[in-house]
């Protein structure tokens, strides 16, 4: 059975989930089925990933063959930036639910604190501030609360919110956020933000937990620590890969992780991380890798009023 963390509303989130960003429609359906067969009970989706139909097909095949029931699996989706107006939130969740062919999601997240105009491209690059909307994410949060009240989402949460933004929602909400999903890997271990969220009973989920191994060598991006020879050596001691060492380290921080893979052997590898314990010295080494360098920095939007990464954490 998959291990879980308790959320502040009594629900549980499985610690390891399958990421689906850039999982091609042709592969993701099989990847979801492989993951469920390997014991995953948590799939991380988003409207923005444009593959929710195929993710849903994979999940439904596993309902049909009797491997799981709806109650056994935790499904997350996210509201994209162009739809922050309060009256767009429920319709956008309904759109994701229709694609996934589900009646509810377990978790719905505001994908980013900053909003774009509905008419803007999904990732406006050259338009500057004219592409932005100034909808306050507190207004968006009211729409998120409606999702819970309508039974369309069991829990709601945030993604890419900094500490001040988390606190603002926390202090002005009727329904508390249960999760803040942010980038966490040894290059950016987010210890301060994790502690800040923990004090408010908000669990952190780590995206890019492997530091996007496919970004290795890309100019301007940190080298993923799964390629660090010392981390590879630590893995050898436990008969584990560097990816397993990194995921085990992240889980030891009290957070959940959503590694993405469409490769069956890696999908299996990434959940087989609970049968070893790193030594204090090994954890100290992984802690020392922290340099606050992101692989998802979104600097194109650094001038947005709600850009989250202009403060320390």
Ligand X SMILES: O=C1CO[C@H](CO)[C@@H](O)[C@@H]1O
Ligand Y SMILES: NC(=O)C1=CN([C@@H]2O[C@H](COP(=O)(O)OP(=O)(O)OC[C@H]3O[C@@H](n4cnc5c(N)ncnc54)[C@H](OP(=O)(O)O)[C@@H]3O)[C@@H](O)[C@H]2O)C=CC1
Catalytically active residues are 49
Rounded distance between C-alpha atoms, residue 8 and residue 144, angstroms: 16
Least separation in angstroms between CB 24 and ligand Y: 9
Quick check: 148 and 155 in contact, CB under 8 A? yes
Structure tokens that stand for 215 in this block: 């970004």
Part in contact with ligand Y (CB under 6 A); list of ranges 161-169, 186-194, 253-261, 272-280: 253-261
Judged by CB under 6 A, the residue of 140, 155, 159, 165 near ligand Y is: 159
Distance separating alpha carbons of residues 244 and 251, to the nearest angstrom: 10
Contact between 111 and ligand X per CB under 6 A: yes
Nearer to ligand X, 182 or 234 (CB): 182
Q: If binding is defined by CB under 6 A, does position 41 make contact with ligand X?
A: no
Q: Is 51 in the site for ligand Y (CB under 6 A)?
A: no
Question: Residue 170, interface with ligand X (CB under 6 A)?
Answer: no
Give Cα 290 to chain centroid, integer Å: 20
Query: How many residues bind to ligand X according to rule CB under 6 A?
Result: 4
* Strands 153-159 and 105-110, bridge-based pairing: parallel
The residue (of 97 and 204) whose beta carbon lies closer to ligand Y is: 204
- Tell me the backbone φ, ψ of residue 91, rounded to 5 degrees: -60, -35
Residues 19-38 that bind ligand X (CB under 6 A): 21
Q: Is 55 in the site for ligand X (CB under 6 A)?
A: no
**Torsion-angle region of 293 (φ positive above 0: left; ψ -120 to 50: alpha; else: beta):** beta
Q: Say whether 304 counts as a known binding-site residue.
A: no
CA distances from 220 to 83, 208, 223, 225, 294 (A): 30, 16, 9, 15, 10
Nearer to ligand Y, 150 or 302 (CB): 302
Q: Which is nearer to ligand X, 99 or 111 (CB)?
A: 111
Element (H, E) at 60: helix 52-64
Shortest Cβ distance from residue 260 to ligand Y (Å)?
3
Q: Which of 262, 224, 264 is nearest to 245 (CA)?
A: 224
The binder of ligand X chosen from 15, 28, 46, 226 (CB under 6 A) = 46
Question: SS3 letters for 185-211?
Answer: ECCECCHHHHHHHHHCCCEEEEECCCC
In degrees and rounded to multiples of 5, residue 257 shows phi and psi of: -135, 145
Tokens describing residue 39: 């014991």
- Residue 261 interacting entry, from ligand Y, ligand X, none, C-beta within 5 to 8 Å by type: ligand Y
The nearer residue to ligand Y, 19 or 124, going by C-beta atoms, is 19
Interface residue with ligand Y, options 33, 154, 240, 260 (CB under 6 A): 260
Say if residues 113 and 165 touch (Cβ distance below 8 Å): yes
How is the chain split among helix, strand and coil, in percent rounded to 5? 45, 15, 40
Candidate list 221, 293, 296, 313; residue touching ligand X; CB under 6 A: 296
Q: How far is the CB of 76 from ligand Y (least distance, A)?
A: 8
Choose, by CB under 6 A, the member of 172, 214, 279, 287 that binds ligand Y: 214
Q: Which does 214 bind (CB under 5 to 8 A by kind): ligand X, ligand Y, none?
A: ligand Y
What are the residues binding ligand Y (CB under 6 A)?
A: 19-21, 44, 111, 159-160, 181, 207-214, 226, 241, 243, 258-263, 266, 269-270, 296
Residue numbers belonging to the annotated binding site for substrate: 111
Residue numbers belonging to the annotated binding site: 111
What are the residues binding ligand X (CB under 6 A)?
A: 21, 46, 111, 296
């Amino acid at each position: 059975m998959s291990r879980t963390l308790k959320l502040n509303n009594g629900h549980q989130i499985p610690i390891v989930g399958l990421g689906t960003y850039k999982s091609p429609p042709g592969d993701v359906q099989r990847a979801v089925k492989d993951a469920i067969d390997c014991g995953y009970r948590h799939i991380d989706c988003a409207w923005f990933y444009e593959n929710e139909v195929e993710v849903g097909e994979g999940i439904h095949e596993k309902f049909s063959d009797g491997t799981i029931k709806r109650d056994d699996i935790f499904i997350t989706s996210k509201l994209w930036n162009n739809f922050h107006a309060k009256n767009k939130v429920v319709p956008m969740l309904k759109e994701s639910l229709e694609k996934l062919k589900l009646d509810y999601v377990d978790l719905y997240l505001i994908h980013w604190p900053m909003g774009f105009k509905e008419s803007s491209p999904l990732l406006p690059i050259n338009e500057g501030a004219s592409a932005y909307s100034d909808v306050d994410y507190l207004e968006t949060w009211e729409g998120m609360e409606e999702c819970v009240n309508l039974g369309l989402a069991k829990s709601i949460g945030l993604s890419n919110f900094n500490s001040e933004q988390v606190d603002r929602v926390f202090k002005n909400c009727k329904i508390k956020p249960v999760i803040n999903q942010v980038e966490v890997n040894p290059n950016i271990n987010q210890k301060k933000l994790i502690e800040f969220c923990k004090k408010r009973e908000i669990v952190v989920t780590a995206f890019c937990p492997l530091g996007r191994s496919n970004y290795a060598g890309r100019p301007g991006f940190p080298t993923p620590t799964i390629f660090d020879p010392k981390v590879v050596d630590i893995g050898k001691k436990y008969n584990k890969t560097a990816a397993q060492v990194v995921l085990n380290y992240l889980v030891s921080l009290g957070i959940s992780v959503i590694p993405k893979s469409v490769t069956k052997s890696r999908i299996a590898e990434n959940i087989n991380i609970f049968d070893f314990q790193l030594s204090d010295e090994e954890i100290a080494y992984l802690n020392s890798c922290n340099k606050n360098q992101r692989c998802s920095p979104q600097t194109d939007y650094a001038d947005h009023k709600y850009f989250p990464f202009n403060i320390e954490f």
